[in-house]
């Protein structure tokens, strides 16, 4: 393979490794913030600043599909919520087995005890049973990441964990191999230079002289004995 091809391969792997590390860096920052904020919320018995949920029901299709991931942000007050907002909440009126629901606000009613919210899934024919209060709301939808839940399920599997570890390891090994090959080629080119060949020949001659001198001294010593 010519030098141009080697440079292209080396640049290709460098870009991939840099991009991969950059993605890992931002993901690490995001998840660190997510974990810390959730831990603080648990200790202070408050709502987390960011919450992440994988959608497992088609109730919000086609706007939110099964296996989409929803990232919610904390809602500071009731005034931050309007009809049409998509929220994630716990419902006392719906038997969800402790899971959260992500539906759209269809109506907000003022009561003496505060505002109550009525919700409905975009794909459902009827509104949700009952209503929810502000305390039941976990967060409001900030962004939807399509089908990321499939990746989450894959990573959770044994094969996924194996590949997540194996692929970066292979990339790192390939990058190191390319660097080693390049260094060896440079060393070989330097060694083949005429000046370096002459230096190597002179050093070899000097080494041979030293060896002969040591052998002669040893021989003379033995003869004297």
Q: Do residues 110 and 149 both lie within one domain?
A: yes
Q: Is pLDDT at 151 greater than 90 in this prediction?
A: no
> What would the pLDDT profile of 55-97 be if each residue is shown by its tens digit?
888 999 999 999 998 999 999 889 999 999 999 998 766 655 5
As a whole number, mean pLDDT of residues 148-159 equals 73
Same-domain status, 105 and 131: yes
In this structure, the number of other CB atoms found within 10 A of the CB of residue 100 comes to 18
- If asked whether residues 171 and 207 sit together in one domain, one would say yes
Total domain count for the chain? 3
Same domain, 56 and 87: yes
- Would you state the pLDDT for residue 195? 53
pLDDT score recorded for residue 191: 61
Residues 150 and 82 in one domain: yes
Q: Domain holding 117: CATH number?
A: 2.10.109.10
Q: Residue 4 — pLDDT band, cuts 50, 70, 90?
A: low
Task: Indicate whether 94 and 189 sit together in one domain.
Answer: no
Assess whether 149 and 90 both reside in one domain: yes
What burial class does residue 160 get, using C-beta atoms within 10 Å of its C-beta: 0-12 exposed, 13-18 middle, 19+ buried? middle
Q: Identify whether 130 is part of a domain.
A: yes
Tell me, what's the pLDDT at 121? 93
Domain-embedded: residue 161: no
For residue 155, the number of C-alpha atoms closer than 13 Å in the C-beta half-sphere is 8
Which residue range is the domain that position 35 belongs to? 1-46
**Statement to judge: residues 149 and 213 lie in one domain:** no
**Can you say whether the dihedral through the CA atoms of 143, 146, 151, 153 is positive or negative?**
positive
Its pTM stands at 0.60
Task: Return the pLDDT at 221.
Answer: 47
Looking at the structure, tell me whether residues 72 and 88 fall in a common domain: yes
């Amino acid at each position: 393979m010519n030098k141009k091809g080697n440079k292209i391969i080396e640049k290709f792997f460098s870009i991939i490794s840099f991009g991969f590390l950059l993605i890992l860096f931002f993901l690490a920052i995001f998840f660190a913030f997510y974990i810390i904020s959730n831990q603080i919320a648990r200790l202070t018995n408050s709502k987390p600043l960011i919450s992440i949920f994988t959608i497992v029901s088609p109730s919000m299709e086609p706007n939110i599909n099964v296996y989409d991931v929803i990232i919610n942000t904390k809602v500071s007050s009731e005034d931050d919520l309007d009809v049409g907002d998509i929220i994630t909440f716990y419902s006392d009126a719906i038997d969800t087995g402790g899971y959260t629901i992500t539906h759209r606000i269809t109506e907000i009613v003022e009561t003496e005890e505060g505002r109550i919210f009525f919700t409905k899934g975009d794909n459902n024919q009827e509104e949700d049973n009952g209503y929810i209060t502000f305390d039941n709301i976990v967060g409001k939808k900030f962004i939807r990441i399509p089908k990321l839940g499939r990746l989450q399920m894959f990573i959770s599997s044994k094969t996924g964990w194996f590949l997540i570890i194996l692929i970066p390891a292979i990339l790192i090994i390939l990058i190191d191999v390319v660097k080693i090959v390049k260094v060896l080629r440079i060393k070989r080119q330097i060694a083949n230079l005429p000046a370096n060949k002459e230096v190597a020949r002179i050093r070899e001659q000097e080494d041979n002289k030293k060896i002969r001198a040591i052998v002669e001294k040893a021989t003379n010593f033995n003869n004297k004995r």
